[in-house]
Amino acid sequence: MRFLSLILFCFAATPAAAELVHRETLGGLRGVSLAYDAEVCGVWVATEGREVILIGTTGREITRFDSGMRSVRSLTVEPDGLLLADGWGTFRRVDRDGRPREVDFSLSATLVDTEGLHRDADGSFLVVEDDPSRLMRVAPDGSVLMELWGDGFEPPMVEPQGVERDPFSGNILVVDDNEGLNALFELAPDGQVLTVTPLSEWGFDAEGVALQPETGTLFIGFDGGQAVAIFEWRPSGMSIAEPLDRGPDCAFM
């Protein structure tokens, strides 16, 4: 299990970079936002159209639904379904069949250009926007708990598009698209840049990121070429002492 390997890993020498090993690429699937869902052992994919697609961890399509929104720019998994954002400030909660669970709303007055969204273990949301470039933590009531400017990172994170958090290491993963470095940023919870891994070998214009934590399987969506690449991933080190709640084990590991 990945939990045991990471516990042992934290006592070993920290490598210079995170490990990213390409496994395969799924063509014809525009993954502008990705979210792993342990309840259904799959990855939800937003394509910036009306539809949301669920694929298995090996890439097989499981189901899809029409969101009823003009577009879905980013999404994340919640206990009772999904939270969708259209990239213009409107959010919608739906069940796993796509049925709305409440009326549309604004998560926070400061959120408009929402490119990436991740519900963290404590119920708060990690959000990335690219105009301006920023990484935020937003409470369920919409209050801003953290706001970091990507232009001030070293190296700069100019066009953040997707965000994820590894519950074992505690590290935050953000993909920067081709207007930036076309790279995977690994960050500490306070935004300190730990590693930057170039992605151009496997795709153009990185947009979405999702992690199956118990296996270390990482999914990255690319707008250019409309593809989702699947990797084996290991963090550069640990930034938390105890793992976060990651939900149930996938029944089909």
2-10+17-234 classified as CATH 2.120.10.30: yes
Domain residue spans in the chain? 2-10+17-234
Strands 160-165 and 144-149: unpaired
| Residue 13: predicted pLDDT | 40
pLDDT tens, residue by residue, 55-64: 999 999 999 9
Residue 207 pLDDT level (bands cut at 50, 70, 90): very high
Q: Taking 90 as the threshold, does the pLDDT of residue 194 lie above it?
A: yes
Residue 150 sits at φ, ψ, to 5 deg, of -60, -30
| Residue 16: predicted pLDDT | 53
The mean per-residue pLDDT over the stretch 20-46 comes to 96
User: Which tokens sit at 6?
Assistant: 């990471």
Q: How far apart are CA 147 and CA 133, in angstroms?
A: 10
pTM of the model: 0.92
Q: Give 231's Cβ-side CA count (13 Å radius).
A: 23
